[in-house]
Amino acid sequence: MSRRRKKFQLENITIEKYAAEGKSIAYWEDKVVFVQGAIPGDVVNAYVFKNKKDWAEARINEVVEPSDLRQEPFCKHFELCGGCKWQMLAYEQQVIYKEQQVKDQLQRLGNVAVEKFLPIIPCAEDRLYRNKMEFTFSNKRYLGPDDMKAMLPFEKDVLGFHAPKVFDKIIDIDTCHLQAEPTNAIKNFVRKFAQENDYPFYDIRQHTGLMRNLIIRMNQKGEALVNVVFAKNETEKIKTLCSALQNEFDQIVSLHYTVNQKLNDTIYDQNVVAFSGEKHITETLGTTTFKISPKSFFQTNSKQAEVLYNVVKDFVGNADTLYDLYCGTGSIGLYLANQCKKLIGVETVEDAIVDAKENAENNDIQHAHFYAGDVIKVCTSAFFKEHGKADCIIVDPPRAGMHPSLVEKLKEIAAPRIVYVSCNPATQARDVKELSSIYAIKKSRAVDMFPQTHHIENVLLLELT
């Protein structure tokens, strides 16, 4: 096979080890091949779709000999849906690979010296763990290989998830194992009601149709908040569907609808209308209660969020002045409020800060202060001078990590401790490498928030040297 070929098939290659981001490694001649959907021990035929000088990327065409680690996926949508890519791998092994990923990213790729790695904390429940799901309506369904062979039509009203890397077709989902009931019952009821009553499903190319999205939030008490998103303000149809939904499910204690006429699905700049019940549901983590409204930012796994926050709590210790940067609705800071005399939270999204202030008031936490704005613009020297010298700074940035200017500002502020919470160990390693010029990385602990996926949360404790 010529190395110049951009696309070709490799046959009977053995998967040697796990890499990161859900990929595994095989070797072909003197080249590293990153293979999607494979696990160590598999012998596979793989289609190479990206071929560089020293490495290539491929996806499985056929598992010739399955690894001893491979198991039967529990979801019938596994082959098509890109949500739970590791169902073919026993959960105990998933945790091992996630822990390995964190160590590799920090030590090997980031060249970061960590004094102590604490054991990863697995999730007690490896399914039905999410508190929020968002489904999409479409008049075009995604067809798998068997459907294509049967020459089934694309035109069908469906409700489910976007197919991986396909923006205009939706996988019709019957049962999803990520969120507890009545989520599937609600989803299937709404789809059937809309189909039987001729409510047109959305066409993302033509921007036509009525039914657009369905968002379901659940708390640990089994109460549901539902937001049905429509593409047009057809008042009678909206009211008819919402009334039917409310009458069918006692578990829905907060029912809303949104009319989104924009070209994208984001509703954070849209008006959410309360149809019936409460305007929000509440969730309790430890002794702290949080209001969750239709547009709230909140940790997706409620039970494991408490586990994560306890790790942060342990790393933070006591602090007179605690800063919580990228604070969202203030959940981490408020959970730790009894460990500090002053809490300062900063978050870009204004709606999240509104929720944070209300959560502080509802929990009678009077020493918490929250500010909305771009973190790198708000966190100036004058801001830190005004609110007091930091004893500890918590940072929980998005997957892209911290802005370089914030990293420099943290070095300038030189707080005694930084606790860095990350959903992306690669960018965490990059940022911490810069901070390591004045900080020692004392502890690292991974917490699995998302079983059946390669995603992992990691917490680092940095102490000023």
Backbone angles phi, psi at 320, to 5 degrees: -65, -50
- Contact by Cβ (8 Å): 394, 337: no
Q: How far is CA 235 from CA 137, 199, 384, in A?
A: 19, 13, 49
Instruction: Identify the residue whose tokens are 């596979």.
Output: 44
Parallel/antiparallel/unpaired status of strands 439-447 and 114-121: parallel
Backbone angles phi, psi at 42, to 5 degrees: -65, 145
How would residue 76 be classed by pLDDT, with cut points 50, 70 and 90?
very high
- Nearest Cα neighbor of 195 from 138, 134, 256, 261 is 138
Cβ pair 292, 285 in contact under 8 A: no
> What count of other Cβ atoms lies within 10 Å of the Cβ of residue 114?
20
SS3 at position 376: helix
pLDDT at position 210, please?
98
Domains and CATH numbers, the chain: 8-65 (2.40.50.140), 95-126+299-464 (3.40.50.150), 132-285 (2.40.50.1070)
Q: What whole-number distance in Å separates Cα of residue 427 and Cα of residue 406?
A: 14
Residue positions annotated with a catalytic role: 423
Give exposure, 291-314, as e/b (b: 16+ Cβ within 10 Å). Answer: bbbbbbbbbbbbebbbbbbbbbbe
Whole-angstrom distance, CA of residue 112 vs CA of residue 267: 39
Residue 359: per-residue pLDDT: 95
Q: Could you tell me if residue 29 is left (phi over 0), alpha (psi between -120 and 50 degrees) or otherwise beta?
A: left
pLDDT of residue 22: 86
According to DSSP, the residues that pair with 228 across neighbouring strands are 214, 257
- pLDDT > 60? residue 183: yes
Tokens of 157: 């009203």
Give the pTM.
0.93
3-state secondary structure of 432: helix
pLDDT tens, position by position, 121-170: 999 999 999 999 999 999 999 988 777 776 777 889 999 999 988 889 99
**Confidence bin at 109 (pLDDT 50/70/90):** confident
Say how far apart CA 358 and CA 340 lie, in whole Å.
19
pLDDT at 4 over 70: no
Residue with token string 């379901």: 216
Count of C-beta atoms within a 10 Å radius of residue 57: 17
DSSP 166-209: -SS-EEE-S--SSS-TTHHHHHHHHHHHHHHTT-PBPBTTTTB-
Q: Could you tell me the two tokens for 339? A: 């460990």
Q: How far is it, in rounded angstroms, from Cα 235 to Cα 395?
A: 44
Straight-line distance from the first to the last Cα atom of the chain, in angstroms, rounded to the nearest whole number: 54
List pLDDT tens digits, range 342-385. 999 999 988 889 999 999 999 999 999 999 999 999 999 999 99
Q: What does DSSP say about strands 392-395 and 417-422: parallel, antiparallel, or unpaired? A: parallel
Give the relative orientation of helices 235-248 and 183-196 as an angle to the nearest 10 degrees: 140
Return d(Cα 408, Cα 403) in angstroms, integer: 9
d(CA 332, CA 316): 11
Confidence grade of residue 30 (pLDDT, cut at 50, 70, 90): confident
